[in-house]
Amino acid sequence: MSLQLINLSPDLKQLRDEGFEMEIKGGYLLIHQIPFVNQSKEIKRGTLISVLDLANNGKTVKPSSHVIYFYGDYPCNKDGSPIEGIRHSSANQKIVDGIEVNHMFSNKPPNGYANYYEKISRYAEIISAPAKSTNPSLTEKTFKVIIDETENSCFKYIDTNSSRANIENINSKLKEQKIAIIGLGGTGAYILDLIAKAPVKEIHLYDGDDFLLHNAFRSPGAASISVMEKKQMKTDYYTDIYSNMHRFVFSHPYYINEINIAELQSLTFVFICIDKDSVKKGIIEYLLSQNISFVDVGLGVNVVDDKLIGTIRVTTGSNSKNDHLFNRISCGDDLENEYSTNIQIAELNSINASLAVIKWKKMCGFYQDLKQEFNTTYTLNVSQLTNDNFAT
């Protein structure tokens, strides 16, 4: 399938985004899985086939013909009588290698069809109406997975979510990003879950721990018992999962230290998600020396009156704004932080991750950023979100 042709042509793009199972082959547009009733009053599925008319720039133009081919039995009404209003001719023939047809239909609007979305939608409506009146759950919009065969695409299948929302141009601002996530505890794992759905160039995962039972209760998804019994490294476990969607997720099953820290040199942005604050200083100083922007996340939870209270922190650093960092990020470990023992607080991890990723996307120009805050805290018991340390 020519993805470039679909992306350039609003009518084809609308068909894809609405879930039509489409294929482009030999100058023809094929729409599969159209439900219909046959002469025996059985529900069957067929394929609509239309010649594609294209301009020199590779976009579709107004269809020159209102007729359409069909592969399958002749569509009928609920009682098994043929739908005569669209009959043109019937003959089994091969119109091009790999495409056979059985019938040709004709339904001409006064001014013809303005585009291929209008043409396909109308024929699909006519043919499938009797079947849908028998079974309202039937649909031609199957949302079949479309493999992304675009050279160097980071995704294994098409991101129709961005396409349906018409934000592909905005999303493209993330394409050259090479991201590292240092630490795959609760917050780091949720950051990965969000970043893997962005069209970034590379995602590098750093953590020297195994994925153990307690990790399953503060991570996205639901690990099976068989997976838990494997005792995989965290980076390997998450790479296996998110490589199902993103082609360029890389596992680094070890901690960042002064020996290997140079591995971060080629990155665009780093998420620091480790709970040992004393380790962070060296990483932060190195990133600043290399002009690599980053977000450091923090989550402090304590027990008061048999309830949890806490604060979520997202601190951003860049070459242009970093004078606030060590006022916000502790370089000593807090031994009274209940977060180190209370593990079933995934909702706090996910909020922390979401705030961090939103800030990163602001810095990339994905979201508008009027405040340009470099520190954000969310206080749990008063539900207060506070921004400070603004860029000058």
Q: Is residue 204 part of a domain?
A: yes
CA count, 13 A, side-chain hemisphere, 13: 18
Q: Is residue 145 part of a domain?
A: no
- Asked which of 66-70, 189-193, 316-320, 326-330 is least confident by mean pLDDT, the reply is 326-330
Is the model's pLDDT at 354 over the cut of 60? yes
Q: Report pLDDT for 58.
A: 73
- Average pLDDT value for residue range 141-158: 79
- With a CB cutoff of 8 Å and minimum separation 6, the contacts of 120 are 15, 20, 29, 31, 48, 50
Q: Is 86 exposed, middle or buried (0-12, 13-18, 19+ CB in 10 A)?
A: buried
Residue 2: pLDDT band (50, 70, 90) is: low
- Average pLDDT value for residue range 192-220: 94
Q: Report pLDDT for 341.
A: 44
Is the model's pLDDT at 214 over the cut of 90? no
How many domains in the chain? Answer: 2
Q: Are residues 181 and 47 in the same domain?
A: no
Q: What CATH number is attached to the domain comprising 370?
A: 3.40.50.720
Q: Distance (Å, rounded) from C-alpha 296 to C-alpha 34?
A: 51
φ/ψ of 157, rounded to 5, equals -145, 165
- With a CB cutoff of 8 Å and minimum separation 6, the contacts of 151 are none
- Average pLDDT value for residue range 85-97: 90
Q: Taking a C-beta distance cutoff of 8 angstroms, is the pair 192, 168 a contact?
A: no
Please name which of 60, 61, 63, 40 lies closest in space to residue 50, comparing C-alpha atoms. Answer: 63
Residue 378: pLDDT band (50, 70, 90) is: very high
Q: Taking a C-beta distance cutoff of 8 angstroms, is the pair 80, 39 a contact?
A: yes
Residue 148: pLDDT band (50, 70, 90) is: low
Q: Are residues 288 and 356 in the same domain?
A: yes
Is the model's pLDDT at 334 over the cut of 90? no
Is the model's pLDDT at 38 over the cut of 80? yes
Tokens 């547009």 sit at which residue?
29
Q: Are residues 267 and 176 in the same domain?
A: yes
Q: Is residue 148 part of a domain?
A: no
Residue 1: pLDDT band (50, 70, 90) is: very low
Q: Are residues 79 and 201 in the same domain?
A: no
Q: Is residue 155 part of a domain?
A: no
* Residues linked to residue 70 through DSSP beta bridges, in sequence order: 48, 103
Q: Report pLDDT for 287.
A: 97
- Average pLDDT value for residue range 17-40: 91
Single residue among 94, 119, 134 that ends a domain in this structure: 134
Q: Is residue 149 part of a domain?
A: no
Q: Are residues 117 and 218 in the same domain?
A: no
pTM for this predicted structure: 0.77
Q: Is residue 272 part of a domain?
A: yes
- Average pLDDT value for residue range 94-121: 92
Q: Is residue 147 part of a domain?
A: no
Q: Are residues 245 and 315 in the same domain?
A: yes
Indicate the average pLDDT of the chain.
Answer: 91
264: three-class secondary structure by DSSP: helix
Q: Are residues 255 and 368 in the same domain?
A: yes
Q: Are residues 282 and 321 in the same domain?
A: yes
φ/ψ of 199, rounded to 5, equals -80, 50
Q: Are residues 216 and 276 in the same domain?
A: yes
Q: Are residues 193 and 55 in the same domain?
A: no
Q: Are residues 73 and 195 in the same domain?
A: no
Q: Which domain holds residue 249?
A: 160-390
